């Protein structure tokens, strides 16, 4: 299990073999072609429960989740994973 914390304090856990997941590679590719796939990438990377927890963590006082905050969080998560350094393009 890979555990980490984003720069803003969100704690996450990922499977060790996450970057041997072809569907994750596809999600990164879709996102790189079209940023509208950010939600799909987040769910593939984190799983449904952690994605929902991250969304609540990022939700502002106005009830909105800023896209820029989600991108920063996913980038923090990717950078915190040693295997991610060789996994391909970043979600930014």
Cα(6)–Cα(57) distance, integer angstroms: 11
The chain-wide mean pLDDT, for the chain, equals: 88
Instruction: Report, as an integer, the average pLDDT of 36-53.
Output: 95
Q: What are phi and psi of 74, to 5 degrees?
A: -65, -35
Residue 57 has pLDDT above 80, yes or no: yes
Q: Domain coordinates of the chain in residue numbers?
A: 2-86
pLDDT of residue 84: 47
Collapsing DSSP to helix, strand or coil, 21 comes out as coil
Q: How is residue 1 written in tokens?
A: 């299990």
């Amino acid at each position: 299990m890979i555990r980490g914390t984003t720069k803003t304090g969100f704690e996450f856990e990922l499977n060790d073999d996450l970057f041997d997941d072809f569907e994750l590679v596809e999600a990164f590719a879709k996102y790189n072609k079209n940023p509208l796939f950010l939600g799909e990438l987040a769910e593939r990377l984190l799983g449904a429960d952690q994605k929902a927890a991250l969304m609540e963590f990022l939700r502002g006082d106005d009830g909105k989740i800023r896209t820029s905050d989600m991108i920063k969080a996913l980038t923090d998560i990717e950078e915190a994973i040693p295997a991610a350094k060789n996994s391909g393009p970043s979600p930014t």
